[in-house]
Each structure stands twice: as structure tokens, then as C-alpha cells.
Amino acid sequence: MLITDELFDAYLKCKTKARLTFGPAGSGESSHPISDWQQRLAENYQANCRDRLQFADSADCFVGNPCSEDLKSAKYRLIIQPYITAQDVGSNIHALERGAAQTQTRNSPYTPIRFVPFEKVSKHHRLMLAFDAIVLWKASGQMPTKGTIVHGFQHTALVFKLDAWIHEVESLIGKLRTLLTGGPAPEPVLIKHCKECIFEACCRKRVTDKNDPAYGSFDTHSP
Ligand code: SF4
């Protein structure tokens, strides 16, 4: 089973969402006004950041999916928008940047970069970047030690060490696998994210039906 960045992102928001994203139940959901707007915002911001990076260093820039040999040999200084899969994980990594200094061979010469349109960087964004790092590690056999989140109007670069985050993401991926192989989706519990979730309509209906006295009681809560 391939755990993608989309699945991992859904899992960080809601277990039901991860299960619905993975299963056939979610295939009928294609549009949600807030979710669609957030998607456009993220895509526009990412495109803008990619253009800025390429403009600053177009000579040694590769766009697309490099082979694992080129990853290991650090052939390109900048790799834009690679989709990398390895073993049982895959991610649409926003960008990879080769460091200036020679690293130990067990460490990746590349730093994964994520583009986040918001001014505030959350734990969620750090975990997503650590997920990218795990994919890169599995694809190249070399672990990135640092990651960068470019965020906000000023395109501020937040650089941080990844080791603790990678340990946490490995544990979360294990839990996600268990969830995805463990039968039907958990019953929805309404949370703050529901109002911007593509599954809002079907989950609200399920909660409403369950709360109908004819179905007995059903607890809901917001975090
Ligand atoms: S609508 Fe709410 S409960 Fe349903 S999948 Fe989305 S976040 Fe989870």
C-alpha cells in the first residue's frame, strides 16, 4: 500500500478523512467551496515560489522526477516539483535544494523545501515536510538532516532540523497503515476542520442520521 502525501495530510487532519480519501466512499466527493479555494491558494503560492527559485538559479535547475542515481550524486543544485516514490511511500515534493557543504554520505546532500502560503507555520506543516524527507531518504538511501519551509507574503524561509520530526512521522505512518487496513472508516466526529473538508456533506449527514432518535444517541464534539 502506497502512503502518499495526500493521504498523510488527510490523516493529520482527521482519521475519518484519511479513510474516506483512501477508500471508494470518497471517490464521489469532488468539490467544496472552501477546500477548493484553499487548493487554489496553495497552488498559486507554490507556482509563485517555484518561479522565484528558478529565476534566481535557472542554470542548474531540474524540473520533474530525477532518477535515484542523480539524487545520490547531487547532480542538480535545484530540483523543482519532483514526484518521488520509494518502497511504500510517495510525495509531491515542492522542491529540493543541494546544500553548499559536503555532507556525510549517509546524509542527503538535499534539503526538502515546502511552500506554505500562511504567515504562521504549524506543526502540521513541519510534519508534512518531515514526510517528504522520509520519501527522499527511502528513494536515495540518504537522510536529509534539515528542511526549509518558505511561507507567507514575504517568502520567509524557516530552516529547522528534521530528526525529531522524522521519528514522529514514522510512528504516524505506522498508525495510518493500521487505520487503512482495519475495516470501514471510523464514524465521523465533527471538528473544526469539517467546515473546510471535502467530505463535509456526507459526514454531517451521517452525524445527523445517527443523532436522530430513531438511530439512538451519538456523541459529537469540537476540539
Ligand atoms: S467532514 Fe469532518 S469528520 Fe468528515 S472527514 Fe472531514 S474532517 Fe473528518
Digit-by-digit pLDDT tens for the chain (223 residues) are 999 999 999 999 999 999 999 876 555 567 899 999 999 999 999 999 999 998 887 778 999 999 888 888 899 999 999 999 998 999 999 999 998 766 667 889 999 999 999 999 999 999 999 999 999 999 999 999 999 999 999 999 999 999 999 999 999 999 999 999 987 778 899 999 999 999 999 899 988 887 755 543 334 333 3
Q: How far is the CA of 13 from the centre of ligand 1 (A)?
A: 8
CA distances from 70 to 73, 105, 116 (A): 5, 14, 27
Sign of CA dihedral 140, 100, 91, 162: positive
Say which CATH topology domain 3-13+28-184 has: Lambda Exonuclease; Chain A (3.90.320)
* Ligand 1 neighbour 108 (Cβ under 6 A): no
User: Burial letters for 170-202: b for 16+ Cβ neighbours within 10 Å, e otherwise?
Assistant: eebbeebeebbeeeebeebbbbeebeebbbbeb
Task: Identify the residue whose C-alpha is closest to ligand 1 atom 7.
Answer: 194
> pTM for this one?
0.90
Q: How far is the CA of 179 from the centre of ligand 1 (A)?
A: 15
Return the ligand 1 atom nearest residue 198 CA. 6
Task: Assign 27 to helix, strand or coil.
Answer: coil
Largest pairwise CA distance in the chain = 67
Task: Identify the residue whose C-alpha is closest to ligand 1 atom 3.
Answer: 188
Judge whether 139 and 85 are in contact, CB under 8 Å.
Answer: yes
